[in-house]
Amino acid sequence: MKNPEKLLNENEVAFPPAPPERLEAGLDDILCRALFQDPEVAAAISMEIAAGIVL
């Protein structure tokens, strides 16, 4: 299927909402009180736990 968006639009099928694109930032650009979203924290912790189990 070459253009699924066009096909969905023609058949009046709604798109699921897409999350906003993440901006690239350096460590100096992040505020000291910046908040992380729960899924991001959970994914980061899961990766650390998995790495610890493997070792």
Distance CA 55, CA 32 (A): 32
Q: What's the pTM value of the predicted model, to 2 decimals? A: 0.36
Which pLDDT score, from 0 to 100, does residue 42 have? 85
pLDDT tens, 11-45? 888 877 877 787 787 777 777 777 777 787 888 88
pLDDT above 80 (res 46): yes
Which pLDDT score, from 0 to 100, does residue 50 have? 92
From residue 2, give the alpha-carbon distance in Å to each of 5, 6, 9, 35. 9, 9, 14, 39
